[in-house]
Structure 1
Amino acid sequence: MKKVVVMLALFTAVWACKKGNELLGEEEQPFLGFEQPANFPEPAYDFSRNPITKEGFELGKKLFYEPRLSRNNTIACGSCHIQSAAFTHHGHDVSHGIDDRLGTRNPMPIMNMAWHNEFFWDGGVFDLDFAPVNAIHSEVEMDETVTNVLKKLRAHPEYPDLFKKAFGSEEITDALFFKALSQFMLMANSANSKYDKIMRKEQGASFTETEERGYVFFQKNCADCHKEPLFTDLSYRNNGIRPNRSDDQGRAIVSGNPKDAYKFKVPSLRNLSFTAPYTHDGRYLTISRMLDHYQNDVIDSPTLDPLFRRSDGTRGIPMTEQEKADLLAFLKTLEDPTFLNNPLLAEPFGSDFTVN
């Protein structure tokens, strides 16, 4: 009897430790590498020049949540790209960076990056490996330089060994630094929503009548820009939003072409409920208000996308209140809880990451 009591106590202690680790996010998770969803196209990223490994991914994850990437060691990539908000800066209309400085645009989600060729609202970066440079050098985000970041990492007691495990050398170079960050971002994939399960005919999943009506409306009125399954065609379009006070002209700033004025990258509709506020400057707080824009508020301009010009001379997307409710129901099927709560992508417990 005494032996049974001792064994029970040991079992209880082990179980308690296991549950404690789960609560703290420390439970060991299997690393399966990059997996292409069955209903997705081939990725655009060239994995042959940066194959994802467990060690490379773990290094990239530590760097993503590393505040030393900023001038005063307070702002990490994860400060403005929060997992529970699909790696956006939930609750902020524009980015809040170092010293609480304000940017001019709402951070786009880090999600399904392997299928993108260009990045940011204006497409100003054409390679994922270079994307972090913008934030690091931005005066309103991290206000640092890559050179200084590398110096800090080289002086850190852990990073030389982590780079050796990931890339075979303790040398910390800018190329390897960017590759590690890319490995983390390339694993931030959302492809397990109700919609995805229906498209893959998994687990008997099916739309409700309301969701089905919303899907039909979406395919007729929205799918040209928000192309399945990424729910973006990766193009740049002027959707008739009134210019803001800073007169942000979007794609034209990068291309220098006046015909690109007020065009911005078409955002994905995945996980919309968690990525508020909406548009490039975060002016709309709810999805319903965003749809109101398409119903009633589309502003005319020379670069307005032709899709928003109706044959009767009016603009926007006509929809009844019932159609709007149906569409909102369909958009809910694009939510992916497994992505929003994936422990592999979560901030490491015990990090010195500081959120401003």
Structure 2
Amino acid sequence: MKIDLTVPISGPADCRDVVAQAERDGYDGVWTTETKHDPFVSLALAATVTEHIELGSAVALAFARNPMSVAVLGHDLQHLAQGRIRLGLGTQIKAHITRRFGMPWSYPARRMREFVLALRAIWQSWENDTPLDFRGEFYTHTLMPTMFVPDRHRYGPPPVLLAAVGTAMTEIAGEVADGVLCHGFTTERYLREVTLPALRRGREKVGRTLDGFEITGSTMIVVGRDEQELEKALVGVRKQIAFYASTPAYRAVLDLHDRSELGERLHQLSRAGEWNTMASLVDDEFLRAVAIVGKPNEVAAELKRSYGDMLTRVSFYTPYEIDPKLVSELAVAVRAV
């Protein structure tokens, strides 16, 4: 299981110092997010100060863009990073796509499937010097003058990974992508009983297995060297779990754990803006189902026990202020298990 670092969302767009340090610290990969900054700008900068660490977006918003623009970005970044890019894409939710980005929204799973197929058709046209003729339900790409075809490079298209929680999107990830980005709001049970079976169904559609398929986790971690650090981490994680549990898009995780009523209650409180009350409703049992709690050695052992046979790589999801040295200690502990 590879150990990755996610660039803090509160950090600047220029992440070169963080990424260069991650490479020196021995991380296998670094992921950028699309929150306050464009993840592709950060990846381009990261590529200029690193040599071997893998670089990925977790995630870039597909529906805020179009397949042609993402194909060009992916192609150029792969060249700049000399083959180290992981193109992680996600949908976001309808309100953000339609009201923040002003872009169309419909049938997200079907649209994402077609988005990835369009990406591959564009890349194939460039690689094989063949006419571009992709005609879908949502995207049509039939014009590719030679003047606009990027120069070929020896690294090929980047692997495509899809963020997925529900079964429909997860199955599509298995069918058309090279990997899946598991959401931080998940559990060991959900991965075993829902995610893996859906991925296998998707792979079976194209006559493939999960061999070589990347399953990337962003596991919520409550870690501390002492009780004071642990308590601070618990507060942050409890709030984050309450936020996700209030969102209908993640209700399937709650349903599996017989917490449907909790989801409804949290959703009502979120609409009323009662965020502090929400966190108090997340009981310890469910918190420990979502997050791993303990000192670095304890977290490392539990992470390997719970996810070591499922995840091919993992990053630590710590939604609270944390000492970077503690994160490094945790990474060392995971590698040692």
TM-score scaled by length of structure 2: 0.30
TM-score scaled by length of structure 1: 0.29
The structure carrying a bigger strand percent of its residues is 2
* Higher relative contact order (Cα pairs below 8 Å, separated by 6+ residues): 1
Q: Which has the larger radius of gyration?
A: 1
The structure carrying a bigger helix percent of its residues is 2
